[in-house]
Amino acid sequence: MRKKIVAGNWKMNKSAAEARELVAAINAELGDCECPVEVVVCPPFTAIESAGTALAGSRIALGAQNMSERSAGAFTGEVSASMLTSLGVKYVILGHSERRTLYGETDAIVNAKVRAAINAGLNPIVCVGETLQERETGAMDDVVTRQVQQSLAGVTGDELKAGKVVVAYEPVWAIGTGKTASKEQAQEMHALVRRVLAEMTSGIAAAAVRIQYGGSMKPENAAELLAMPDIDGGLIGGAALQADSFVAIIKAGC
Ligand code: 13P
């Protein structure tokens, strides 16, 4: 049985002080809710430490939105995996479509980051998903298959069984647009991701992997998406910036 995982990707939002306030508000809104959903917040780098202080002792885990594939050295502006673990970070989003399209991250780069994250003890949340044009031309299965195969190349069945990797299916056309994939469209793509993982490793290993849906997930559509057999959580953008909507999505997964 896979434990659901709902993560907030705050993108380039929230100062250190605002992060502290949002984490406190999420905790207050969660109250004594003990539903078996793992909760993660992924603030920008500059707010990780203050968010980490605010969530200490709570059920919320800390994530980051990106990291370097390299371990240390003359790489101006980059942040390493061990810098993140030193702040208590447990998860790191890798290969988000905004990184792929705006910053030129290829599957090979994402793959190097995945390896560096796992080696450092971080759990990557690896994003895949097709653009609108790729969906309209029927290329989505090929695109997502290639992204999974190449971004996760070399990841072993044992690593998957140990829960070291989360995959997020985020159709690019649904991100920040208010358009959500229907529960059937999302389920189809999640099942595809799981089939590809099974071919790369084994059915048992693939069955252990949690696959999140991302793209305009909100309180109104979360319950029906999270009820689908291969949808194991959500990666939430806009709706994660307010405690009430983020917690409503978490509770929809209970
Ligand atoms: P929205 O929820 O704002 O569509 O963003 C989704 C996303 O990109 C999460 O990583």
Query: Model confidence over 90-146: pLDDT tens digits?
Result: 999 999 999 999 999 999 999 999 999 999 999 999 999 999 999 999 999 999 999
Dump pLDDT digits (tens) for 148-190: 999 999 999 999 999 999 999 999 999 988 888 999 999 999 9
3-state SS of 120-142 is CCCEEEEEECCCHHHHHCCCHHH
Residue 215 carries which DSSP code?
S
As a whole number, the mean pLDDT across the chain is 97
Domains of the chain by residue range = 13-252
pTM of the model: 0.98
Whole-number pLDDT of residue 133? 94
Identify the CATH number of the domain defined by range 13-252. 3.20.20.70
Average pLDDT over residues 195-222: 98
Dump pLDDT digits (tens) for 66-96: 999 999 999 999 999 999 999 999 999 999 9
Q: Is there an atom of ligand 1 within 6 Å of 176 CB?
A: yes
The catalytic residues are 96, 170
Q: Is there an atom of ligand 1 within 6 Å of 237 CB?
A: yes
Share of the chain above pLDDT 70, in %: 100
C-alpha–C-alpha distance, residues 34 and 138, integer Å: 42
Whole-number pLDDT of residue 179? 86
> In testing the pocket of ligand 1, which one of 236, 241, 245, 246 has its CB within 8 Å of the most ligand atoms?
236
Residue 172 carries which DSSP code?
G
Exposed e or buried b per residue across 114-127, where buried means at least 16 C-beta atoms within 10 angstroms of its C-beta: bbbbbebebbbbbb
C-alpha–C-alpha distance, residues 69 and 47, integer Å: 21
Q: Is there an atom of ligand 1 within 6 Å of 9 CB?
A: yes
Q: Is there an atom of ligand 1 within 6 Å of 170 CB?
A: yes
Whole-number pLDDT of residue 114? 98
Determine the 3-state secondary structure of 46 from DSSP.
Answer: helix
Whole-number pLDDT of residue 24? 98
Whole-number pLDDT of residue 180? 86
Whole-number pLDDT of residue 9? 98
Q: Which atom of ligand 1 is nearest to the CA of 93?
A: 10
Determine the 3-state secondary structure of 149 from DSSP.
Answer: helix
Q: Is there an atom of ligand 1 within 6 Å of 238 CB?
A: yes
Dump pLDDT digits (tens) for 3-61: 999 999 999 999 999 999 999 999 999 998 889 999 999 999 999 999 999 999 999 99
Share of the chain above pLDDT 90, in %: 95
> In testing the pocket of ligand 1, which one of 6, 11, 173 has its CB within 8 Å of the most ligand atoms?
11
C-alpha–C-alpha distance, residues 234 and 225, integer Å: 9
Q: 133 alpha carbon to ligand 1 midpoint, in Å?
A: 19
